Amino acid sequence: YVLTQPPSVSVAPGQTARITCGGDNIGSKRVHWCQQKPGQAPVVVVYEDSARPSGVPERFSGSNSGNTATLTISRVEAGDEADYYCQVWDGSSDQDWVFGGGTKVTVL
Partner 1 sequence: EVQLWESGGGLVQPGGSLRLSCAASGFTFRNFPMNWVRQAPGKGLEWVSTLSSTGQSTYYADSVKGRFTISRDNSKNTLHLQMSSLRADDTAVYYCAKGSADGDYFDYWGHGTLVTVSS
**Beta carbon of residue 68, minimum distance to partner 1 (angstroms, whole number):** 19
Query: What is the amino acid identity at position 108?
Result: L
**Beta carbon of residue 89, minimum distance to partner 1 (angstroms, whole number):** 4
Q: Which residues bind partner 1 (CB under 8 A)?
A: 30, 32, 34, 36, 41-44, 47-48, 53, 83, 85, 87, 89, 94-102
The values of phi and psi at residue 84, to 5°, are -125, 135
**Beta carbon of residue 1, minimum distance to partner 1 (angstroms, whole number):** 12
User: What distances in angstroms separate CA 64 from CA 12, 71, 97, 100, one per listed residue?
Assistant: 25, 9, 18, 15
Nearer to partner 1, 30 or 59 (CB): 30
d(CA 5, CA 103): 6
Nearer to partner 1, 7 or 79 (CB): 7
Nearer to partner 1, 24 or 96 (CB): 96
d(CA 103, CA 34): 11
